Amino acid sequence: MFQDGDPCPCVSLVDKVQSASRHRGRMSNTVTSIIIETRIYDGQKPGTSGLRKAVQVFMQEHYTENFIQAILQALGDKLFGSTLVVGGDGRYYVKEAVEKIIKIAAANGVKKLIIGQNGILSTPAVSTIIRKYKTLGGIVLTASHNPGGPDADFGIKFNCENGGPAPDYVTNKIYDITKVLKNYKTISDISIDISKIQSTVIQVDGNSFIVDIIDSVNDYLEYMKNIFDFSSIKTLLQGNNDHPPFKVLINAMNGVTGPYVKRIFSNELGVDNSSIVNAIPLEDFGGLHPDPNLTYARDLVNAMKNGPYDFGKKAFFVTPSDSLAVLAANLNAIPYFKKTGIKGYARSMPTGAAVDRVAAKNGIKFYEVPTGWKYFGNLMDAGLLSLCGEESFGTGSDHIREKDGIWACLAWLSIIANLRKSVEDILLNHWQTYGRNFFTRYDYENCDSEAANRMMQHIESEIQKPEFINSKLISENKVYVVKSSDNYSYVDPVDGSQVSKQGLRILFQDGSRIIYRLSGTGSSGATIRVYVDSYEDDPTSLNKDAQEILKPLVTIALKISNLREFTGRDAPTVIT
């Protein structure tokens, strides 16, 4: 299940720029920047994945410009003469935002922008390009799993020079600037066709300003071919005398992943085009919800269940927590890790603890971090981490500093090619070796924010009572003894930075967990997330349905929270 075209020859950015330099256009000999007076907008505080709001909010006069100016100002003295990457997921308002970024970056002394053709760059591709060409960072135009279209959502986030999301001190600085911003710099006399691969040079306030429009896929494709054994994966997918073709179905959900799927899986690996669907990026994702969970990707689930596919046969579902653990146990199937070695594993705090057990059994360092990919970046930069993941379907490694769905798919295919087993057999063997962490997440979307906050306050007051520790919580003849409870806080082992209030946790003596969080990725209202995780090593339980095993603990979680009383919700919007 993916999101991210346009086939074209695979050449390096340097070659493309050199080729294009003979045809560089000039808008005029000299362009002068101007200063526009603006008004302050409240609430431009980036969340765990940047600033996300409704499109109509971003379309307000000066709103987008204010936030872009704040990002650039936050870069301080490093900004002048710098290079930045710009790209997005193809959703509605990306092209308009790119146009604004070009003008504001030019006026603020940026030397070069590297922009994906049509404004399209997957987030992993942005991270790849930042790191490959050692740019100051990148502006990513995405609201990730939020819907797209004129009546849906938009988002802007900044990735730093390591290729990863801006850390808290940077996003806090951006937010502080938005609260006092009185004007922004821009240029009126620029119009660049971002649908055409080209390089344009403009003289702005006496300085050269370069805009390179590049192929969206080339650099990322080249990198994947250095990480994985494409010939082995191709043999798996196409078959040979020893085994039939391994059939897959890839749904790019009309998002930014489409061009990457076409070039990598069709052109390079020979997957038939009939096995690739919804591969053209659309501004509203074709009306599809871009969150690839079992609710919103129901059509894909049904196709897997009823079709002749080997990857996900009979719709055998692998949770993100289990996927991370299986990858961790089999990283040596990937050439990249044979070269770099395995340094450590990490997961976000709410993610099921399956990978913990792989780390413990194999003597690999393990880290638990708050939700947000930026927390993995410090560990990677310090050489402590090779593989990480979140329960929201995000998985990645230290090859870049972002989650990477294409990478995860290629990693799984590498493991299948190496083990010559079905996905189901790989999971069953894994559970027999490590036991199984049954995991589920209940999402209650667009709840009243005040009611959601009151509910969280109620839960925290309950779990902080002294008598709560060692208490026995009973449901359906299952007894869970509370070991500890807290509002999760984190101290970064690399730089000592601290973050608090990252989610309410109830930890039980048998290793089970209940976690409550308010999501920071929605554009309106509040999303309440309830996570339930329970470990079983009884061989007779390993194949059972997760909802059946977790029902007693889910009942306890809902009872403690009084969620129905606070929100009026009888059922979650999504169950993962």
Query: Which tokens is 197 given?
Result: 């691969």
Q: What is the DSSP letter of 268?
A: I
Tokens matching residue 513: 């967990």
Read off φ and ψ for residue 10, nearest 5 degrees: -90, 100
Structure tokens, 500: 């608090």
- 3 state DSSP class of 116: strand
Compute the Cα dihedral for 345, 350, 356, 357 and give only its sign: negative
Residue 318: φ, ψ to 5°: -105, 120
Element (H, E) at 105: helix 94-107
Residue 23 tokens read as 């045809």
Rounded-to-integer distance, Cα 542 and Cα 436, Å: 6
Burial class (CB in 10 A: 0-12, 13-18, 19+), 474: exposed
Q: Which two tokens stand for residue 48?
A: 């765990």
What are the φ/ψ torsions at residue 512 (nearest 5 degrees)?
A: -70, 160
Cβ(350)–Cβ(519) below 8 Å: no
Short-list 409, 396, 415, 406, CA closest to 347: 396
CA–CA gap between residue 386 and residue 109 (Å, rounded): 36
Q: Which residues pair with 36 in a beta bridge?
A: 184
Please tell me which residue in 49, 82, 144, 397 is annotated as part of the active site: 144
Give φ, ψ of 271 to 5 degrees. Answer: -65, 135
Tokens of 499: 């973050």
Residue 424 DSSP label: H
Query: Residue 214 and residue 17: Cα distance in Å, rounded?
Result: 8
Question: CA 402, CA 129: separation in Å to the nearest integer?
Answer: 12
144 catalytic per annotation: yes
Q: Which two tokens stand for residue 562?
A: 């009084």
Rounded to the nearest 10 degrees, what angle do helices 354-362 and 320-329 cross at?
A: 20
Query: Are the beta carbons of 322 and 328 closer than 8 angstroms?
Result: no
Q: Which amino acid is at 295?
A: T
Helix (H, G, I), strand (E, B) or coil at 246: coil
- Return the active site residues: 144
